[in-house]
């Protein structure tokens, strides 16, 4: 499958425009209901359709995007009167965290009802004499009509042998991109052939959202409520996930971003990598005392919420192997609340599923809002803050290289390994890391079968790690390079002993 990530497609431009306009409403609107009703006409201000067959469909889709960006749910399409764009607005015009589950939604009017999985002969067929496609088909599904190959879809079992053998690359495999990107099989089809998400198995990683070329999948946002909270005069403190480097333009340094966030109204900025450092030491100790001694067969990292939820959901027998350490986000939030008991904490990160982790009831997260880099860009744009022109007045210097490395696949495991080698040099470490939910499932299947005993297994839902999260702005390879530079710029390479944290067992 192709990878559109990092290209500034019209889908991304429209997403960002909606975030900007919703932030703009929060900052400037004096008559919220009327201004929100006017927004679709402000965004779709042309009469000739650009993306769909009519501007009406264009506006209908933008309306649903606006609702999701305000933290509201889609309106049911099967009602005769789906209600106004602003239906339910009062509930979301508040200054605290607000989510109506589910987090990820398919906007039905934007779904192209792509074929889920089929092989088709294209016009490139040369009608060759060898007919290898016909010969390798195990079901006799290929015949020749007017000298060209034709696939009988009733007989085809989608094995792909014909595609592999065609000397002209004349057979194409059509697959639904969102379904292909989903590692847990949560994308289903409704009676019209449109995609919908089975919320019982979705782990909210957002890979379907970033893979849909029609922009038909969106997650909910809290930028509106966050701005309301900032306007209320409360103390709001941001913590920034390590994957932020490079996300706001090649010239924007970490120190410049910190100053820009203060200009936006955050009273203080912490690196989430600080919490990663604390967890890293604790995980190292746990591995040495429990896994290396054979008391526990293997250990699973817990930083990625989609990976943890998937493990609990599909492999319930691994629950006791998932690290009890607080995730870097929660650990950092606890540090902030200790130092600033009255502050609200905002996690700014690359990730959609952190929004769910922050709302979880089981372990108090201490995180009041979660926004993504993409949503933050909308806030900067609404405020007219040009980041590249900001003069850095602050220093971003909370964490070690090990903690900052959590932002790339393999980074968690290698940070823990680094601590073990430093403080427990006699212990041998076995590391495995899986990225992408399909690979994560394979790793857990092997672990369940006893093939990963003695291992520390790191799982990341996004292929590439957090730098590839659904809320990022730049190409994954570029982000990986930027993070490597930021990691090596840390004043310390790994955390000191004793920088341990309380684990989640404490209230």
Write down the pLDDT at residue 342. Answer: 95
Write down the pLDDT at residue 98. Answer: 65
pLDDT reading at 295 higher than 90: yes
- Which tokens hold the place of 483? 């993070």
Report the percent of the chain where pLDDT is more than 70: 95
pLDDT band of 498, cuts 50, 70, 90? low
pLDDT band of 362, cuts 50, 70, 90? confident
Alpha helices in 235-325 (DSSP H): 254-264, 273-286, 305-314
Write down the pLDDT at residue 89. Answer: 83
Q: How many CB atoms lie within 10 A of CB 322?
A: 18
Phi-psi region of 68 (alpha: psi -120 to 50; beta: other; left: phi over 0): alpha
Write down the pLDDT at residue 502. Answer: 43
Of these ranges, 81-85, 93-97, 237-241, the one predicted with the greatest mean pLDDT is 237-241
Q: What share of the chain is helix, strand, coil (3-state, %, to 5)?
A: 40, 15, 45
pLDDT band of 85, cuts 50, 70, 90? confident
pLDDT reading at 200 higher than 90: yes
pLDDT in tens, 204-225: 999 999 999 999 999 999 999 9
Beta strands 430-435 and 369-372: pairing type? unpaired
- Range 234-488 has CATH code 3.40.50: yes
pTM of the predicted model, to two decimals? 0.92
pLDDT in tens, 26-72: 999 999 999 999 999 999 999 898 899 999 999 999 999 999 999 98
Q: How many CB atoms lie within 10 A of CB 288?
A: 17
85 vs 355, higher pLDDT: 355
Q: By the 8 A CB rule, do 490 and 406 touch?
A: no
pLDDT band of 74, cuts 50, 70, 90? confident
Rounded (5°) CA angle 260-347-257: 20
pLDDT reading at 499 higher than 60: no
85 vs 488, higher pLDDT: 488
DSSP codes of every residue in 395-443: ------HHHHGGGSTTHHHHHHHHHHHHH-TTS--EEEEEESHHHHHHH
- Which tokens hold the place of 348? 């700014």
CATH (residue range 117-175): 3.30.70.20
Domain segments of the chain: what residues? 10-109+182-224, 117-175, 234-488
Can you tell me the mean pLDDT for 336-364?
91
* Average pLDDT value for the chain: 92
Write down the pLDDT at residue 78. Answer: 55
* Packing angle of the helix pair 411-423, 273-286 (nearest 10 deg): 60
Q: By the 8 A CB rule, do 467 and 483 touch?
A: yes
pLDDT in tens, 417-473: 999 999 999 999 999 999 999 999 999 999 999 999 999 999 999 999 999 999 999
Q: Is 245 helix (H, G, I), strand (E, B) or coil?
A: coil
Write down the pLDDT at residue 505. Answer: 34
Write down the pLDDT at residue 84. Answer: 81
d(CA 369, CA 313): 25
pLDDT in tens, 228-284: 999 999 999 999 999 999 999 999 999 999 999 999 999 999 999 999 999 999 999
Q: By the 8 A CB rule, do 371 and 226 touch?
A: yes
Can you tell me the mean pLDDT for 69-83?
73
């Amino acid at each position: 499958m192709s990878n559109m990530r990092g290209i500034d497609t019209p889908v991304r431009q429209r997403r960002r425009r909606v975030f900007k306009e919703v932030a703009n409403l929060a900052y400037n609107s004096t008559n919220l209901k009327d201004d929100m009703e006017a927004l679709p006409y402000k965004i779709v201000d042309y009469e000739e359709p650009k993306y769909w067959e009519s501007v009406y469909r264009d506006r209908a889709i933008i309306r649903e995007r606006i609702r999701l960006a305000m933290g509201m749910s889609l309106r049911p399409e099967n009602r005769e009167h789906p209600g106004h764009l602003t239906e339910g607005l009062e509930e979301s015009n508040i200054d605290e965290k607000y989510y109506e589950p589910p987090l990820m939604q398919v906007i039905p009017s934007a779904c192209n009802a792509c074929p889920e999985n089929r092989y088709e002969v294209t016009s490139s067929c040369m009608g060759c004499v060898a007919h290898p496609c016909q010969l390798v088909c195990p079901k006799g599904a290929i015949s020749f009509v007017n000298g060209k190959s034709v696939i009988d879809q009733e007989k085809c079992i989608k094995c792909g042998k014909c595609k592999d053998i065609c000397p002209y690359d004349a057979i194409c495999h059509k697959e639904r991109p969102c379904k292909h990107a989903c590692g847990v099989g949560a994308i289903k089809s409704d009676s019209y052939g449109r995609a919908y998400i089975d919320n019982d198995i979705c782990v909210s990683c957002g890979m379907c959202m970033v893979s849909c070329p029609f922009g038909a999948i969106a997650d909910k946002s809290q930028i509106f409520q966050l701005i309301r909270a900032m306007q209320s005069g409360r103390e709001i403190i941001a913590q920034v996930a390590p994957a932020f480097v490079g996300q706001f333009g090649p010239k924007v340094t970490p120190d410049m971003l910190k100053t820009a966030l203060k200009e936006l109204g955050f009273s203080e900025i912490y690196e989430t990598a600080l919490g990663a450092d604390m967890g890293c030491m604790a995980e190292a100790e746990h591995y040495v005392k429990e896994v290396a001694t054979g008391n526990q067969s293997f250990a699973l990292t817990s930083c990625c919420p989609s990976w943890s939820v998937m493990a609990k959901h599909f492999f319930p027998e691994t629950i006791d192997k998932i690290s009890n350490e607080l995730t870097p986000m929660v650990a950092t939030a606890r540090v902030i609340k200790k130092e600033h008991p009255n502050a609200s904490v905002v996690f700014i990160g690359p990730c959609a599923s952190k929004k769910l982790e922050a709302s979880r009831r089981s372990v108090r997260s201490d995180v009041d809002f979660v926004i993504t880099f993409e949503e933050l860009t909308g806030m900067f744009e609404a405020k007219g803050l040009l980041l590249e022109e900001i003069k850095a007045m602050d220093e971003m210097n909370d964490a070690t290289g090990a903690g900052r490395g959590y932002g790339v696949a393999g980074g968690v495991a290698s940070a823990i390994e680094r601590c073990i080698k430093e403080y427990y040099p006699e212990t041998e470490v076995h590391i495995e890391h899986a990225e992408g939910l399909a690979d994560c499932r394979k790793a857990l299947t092997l672990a369940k079968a006893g093939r990963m005993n003695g291992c520390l297994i790191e799982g990341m839902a996004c292929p590439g790690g957090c730098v590839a999260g659904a809320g990022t702005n730049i190409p994954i390879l570029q982000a990986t390079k930027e993070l490597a530079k930021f990691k090596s710029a840390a004043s310390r390479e790994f955390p000191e002993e004793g920088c341990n944290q309380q684990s989640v067992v404490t209230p």
